[in-house]
């Protein structure tokens, strides 16, 4: 029920974008060696179905055109999108995102905001660890602000941004 990204991207750069997403699906028949020999038709049927689902997720992320490219050949921002897409393939109830906006240009930030903004409406919660306060204020309904590993305050983005301790520590 939980999937997470890492600040340091963890993709398999030597395989295609599509293959990275397909590896993230849970409960694949191909994971059991016997299914490759004795239940080949069922395995192939599931494989085709997962490929369609993976392509749908890549379309949602806006990188379907890169499906046959090696993951390592994508830009850094596209790799971040792929990392999130792989997490979504696992169909988590909770998605943990560690610094998803770090080092990205504004257009890529907007794309990721668009991707994760709709997840709570699909019944998926998002826990975001992020230093870009402008982004946090745009996407989060509730914010917990920490400094030096200790909780300073929590509340609505507006309340947290106006807290004197937050202003002193960060803003």
User: What is the spatial distance between Cα 54 and Cα 113, in angstroms, rounded to a whole number?
Assistant: 20
Helix 17-24 vs helix 40-61: crossing angle, to nearest 10: 110
- pLDDT digit string (tens) for 151-162? 999 999 999 989
**What's the confidence (pLDDT) of residue 167?**
87
Contact in structure between 17 and 55 (CB atoms under 8 Å)? no
Count other Cβ atoms within 10 Å, centred on residue 26: 10
- pLDDT digit string (tens) for 48-86? 989 999 999 999 999 999 999 999 999 999 999 999 999
User: What is the spatial distance between Cα 116 and Cα 46, in angstroms, rounded to a whole number?
Assistant: 27
What average pLDDT does this structure show over 118-145?
88
- pLDDT digit string (tens) for 81-111? 999 999 999 999 999 999 999 999 999 999 9
Say if residue 37's pLDDT is above 80: no
**What's the confidence (pLDDT) of residue 30?**
59
Please give the DSSP secondary-structure letter assigned to residue 16. Answer: B
- Which of 18-32, 103-117, 136-150 has the least mean pLDDT? 18-32
Count other Cβ atoms within 10 Å, centred on residue 37: 8
């Amino acid at each position: 029920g939980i999937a997470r990204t890492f600040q340091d991207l963890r993709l398999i750069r030597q395989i295609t974008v599509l293959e990275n997403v397909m590896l993230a699906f849970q409960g694949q028949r191909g994971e059991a060696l016997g299914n490759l020999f004795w239940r080949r038709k069922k395995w192939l049927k599931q494989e085709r179905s997962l490929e369609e689902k993976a392509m749908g997720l890549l379309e949602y992320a806006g990188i379907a055109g890169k499906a046959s490219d090696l993951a390592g050949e994508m830009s850094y921002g596209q790799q971040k999108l792929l990392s999130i897409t792989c997490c979504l393939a696992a169909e988590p109830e909770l998605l943990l995102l560690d610094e998803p906006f770090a080092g990205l240009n504004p257009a890529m930030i907007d794309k990721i905001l668009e991707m994760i903004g709709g997840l709570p409406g699909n019944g998926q919660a998002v826990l975001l660890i992020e230093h870009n306060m402008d982004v946090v204020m745009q996407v989060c309904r509730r914010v917990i602000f920490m400094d030096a590993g200790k909780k300073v305050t929590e509340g609505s983005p507006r309340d947290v941004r106006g807290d004197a301790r937050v202003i002193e520590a960060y803003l």
